[in-house]
A and B are shown apart, each in its own frame.
Chain A
Amino acid sequence: MLIKQHLIQGLVVLTGLFSLNAQYVPNQQSDRLVRPDSLPVRFWFGRPATSEHIARLNDDVRPDGLGLPSGEGVATQGAVLFAAKCAACHGEGGTGGTGGALVVKPAAPGKRTEKVIGNYWPYATTVFDYIQRAMPFNEPGSLTPNEVYALTAYLLTANKLIDEKTVLNANTLRSVKMPAQPLFVPDDRKGGPDIR
């Protein structure tokens, strides 16, 4: 009985509170969110980036060749560089090590064929971009464009993707066809019951 009375009193108090705020509907989104049209178009924070500043940072390379620097290299030059700077992690001739194999080779018994440049990479430009950006692992960003072209030429030759005489430069690199490229498809799953 006592409990019931308390409950009723509580309800009266609660109802009273709500009636005081009859105009306020706290769960409407417009109350909680900043409306996009209430934001200024610009805040004028930050400063302009000069073309010199962007050029210092921007060395990325696309499959269509956009971003490839001038310079050139051939496989024989790359072989010397590879032995000196890369073989410690990728093995002699790129056949494998702590940094993984880079060159197609027969699968070991009971193992899968390793995914390497010659059988899995869809674009040759990615080889250039990645070496330039991140290799050697212990000295990233230390190679000149000519050295990166030479190493790329060496790895593409070792994977039998170009002739060993090919002079690799911005023009020849972007026209190298990679065997794995037609295998790549973008993810088209959008949820729902399908397991794919």
Chain B
Amino acid sequence: MEPNQPQKKITRRTLLGGAATAAVAVVQTSFARGRSAVAVQIGIDEKTILTEDPTKQMGVPPGKVGTRSTFEKLAKNPSDISSRSPLQDFYGIITPSDLHFERHHNGVPAIDPAKYELTIHGLVERPMIFSLVDLKRFPSVSRIAFLECSGNFRTGKETMSPQEICGLTSQSEWTGVKLSTLFREVGVKPNASWFLAEGGDAARMTRSIPVSKGWNDAIIAYAQNGEAIRPEQGYPVRLFLPGWEGNTSVKWLRRLELGDAPWHTREETSKYTEGIKDGKIRQFSFDIDARSIITFPAYPAQIQKGWIEIRGLAWSGRGKVFKVEVTTDAGKSWQQAQLQEPVLDKAHVRFRHLWQWNGATTEIMSRVTDETGYVQPTFAQLIDARGSDGGYHFNPITVWQIKADGRVFNKPENFR
């Protein structure tokens, strides 16, 4: 086989310079040994191999791993404890795995899949240990569903993108074994009403889950979007509870204990609980309330007069999205948006609405109704209903201000 020759001499300096950009592209280089050309993955910016006319120059050969174009600047924005998905940069409903939001409680552990074990014990007939190989032998199931952190609302300034307002939601196809299959394997006893899920991370994250959720639709997931779950998402195995607040889908899952009462762990008492009326504190708020957000046009976009396709995401932890309405006149009138099929249960749905902008200042927003009849509330409605000023499970309508020059800004709420 005649080897391809590099189209452009790549000097060591170029390579090093490219590597420093930390972007990855597949380029071809040849080694002195023999005449064989070897395609390697090295860090190089596409701009450095850009030519006037790509049709007049051979391209780079196939690589072992595909890469994102270095012209695309997609990024999560990490803090010490979380990293948010760039919702404004997405199309469709699947979140690229490397842009799935992250929230963990003491970093991402490194777990050897060959040593991985899931132990199930407590109120069961047969306490068992399952290796990763064991789990993959069971009948499998796949499901497209969102995962959202229940602490997913921020406001306070105009210059906030969808990523900053509610970037702690993402969607994947999850594959694994149904927890009900494992429940049958270990023989869950009739008096078991709760189970404790424990992670194998440095926080040994724990949540108490009603056994009914385990029988109903819980998945012991080992794959995400067609490949093994990423370390940030729980490699090699996580619990996945469709529609429930993200932290209950315990990552790096190492142990399930069946019991007859909840454990009241730190993450279900002092955290992930919210103040409601009469000074009460609501606990075990598992379902994610229906929510929608316009992701275009949204800060930092700037629009031009004429036709604009308003685009966004809508979802509900209690079932399917029934409809999404959009207003382009600051709430005076609402029109029903188009929903892109498939409209899946407990899943992000893409909505669209065509709008002809005449250049006037206005406000645009979306509100979702789910199949239970729940209508996404305004910020004021939520504050009024809860008698509190925020916290977990806050899902208000997001208002975008359109300025006369086409710039788009978040309308910040008065938030103590």
Contact = CB atoms under 8 A, between A and B. Distances in A.
Indicate whether A and B interact. yes
A140 interface: yes
A45 B119 contact: no
B273 interface: yes
Q: How large is the interface on B (under 10, 10 to 19, 20 to 34, 35 or more residues)?
A: 35 or more
Contact of B273 (A123, A184, A190): A184
B281 A185 contact: yes
A62 interface: yes
A192 B287 CA distance: 13
A180 B270 CA distance: 10
A86 to B, nearest CB: 15
Contact of B263 (A39, A53, A62, A121): A62
A187 B204 contact: no
B257 A58 contact: yes
Interface string A10-50: 00000000000000000000000010000101110111110
B270 A126 contact: yes
Interface residues of chain A: helix, strand, loop or mixed (majority): loop
Query: Which of B255, B370, B386: most chain A CB closer than 10 A?
Result: B255
Contacts of A43: 137-138, 181, 185
Given A43-B138, A45-B137, A183-B279, A60 B257 contact: yes
A177 to B, nearest CB: 14
A187 B387 CA distance: 16
B58 interface: no
Interface string A120-138: 1111011001100110010
A192 B263 contact: no
B284 A46 contact: no
Interface in B251-307: 254-255, 257, 259, 261, 263-266, 269-270, 273, 276, 279-287
B372 A191 contact: yes
A60 to B, nearest CB: 6
A189 interface: yes
Given A192-B373, A193-B374, 12 more contacts: A45-B130, A46-B130, A51-B127, A54-B119, A57-B254, A121-B270, A122-B269, A134-B202, A187-B286, A193-B375, A195-B377, A196-B276
Interface of B: 105-106, 119-121, 126-131, 134, 137-139, 181, 184-185, 196, 198, 202-204, 206, 254-255, 257, 259, 261, 263-266, 269-270, 273, 276, 279-287, 318-319, 370, 372-375, 377, 381-382, 385-386, 416
